[in-house]
Amino acid sequence: MELKDLVLKRLAGVVDPGTNSDVMAMGLVRNLAVNSRGEVSLEFCPSSSECPLVIPLAFRIREAVEGTEGVTAATVTVTGHRMAAEVTAMVNERGAENE
């Protein structure tokens, strides 16, 4: 199985507790890219610009990607939320501290 397929499978396990649906079924993850070095980038667009779960969901998405065998780095860009820039910086800063 290709790394992108493994990442997609892991992301399907990330459930939005507000809807009990996974982020892939809801179409909240977009522009997933995986390069030959195992670096993954994606956009997370919550279902609402005021989504109160944006921070925990962004972290769960990043953790799911990082927990995929073969992934060497992950970048999550939050879009469509009033705090998109702040959440993007927060979730990616945490990842950089662990590298």
In this structure, which amino acid lies at residue 29? V
pLDDT in tens, the chain (99 residues): 899 999 999 999 999 988 999 999 999 999 999 999 999 999 999 999 999 999 999 999 999 999 999 999 999 999 999 999 999 999 999 655 444
CB 3 within 8 A of CB 65: no
Residues 6+ apart with CB under 8 A from 56: none
Q: What is the pTM of this model?
A: 0.92
Class of domain 3-78: alpha beta
The pLDDT of residue 99: 44
CB 55 within 8 A of CB 87: yes
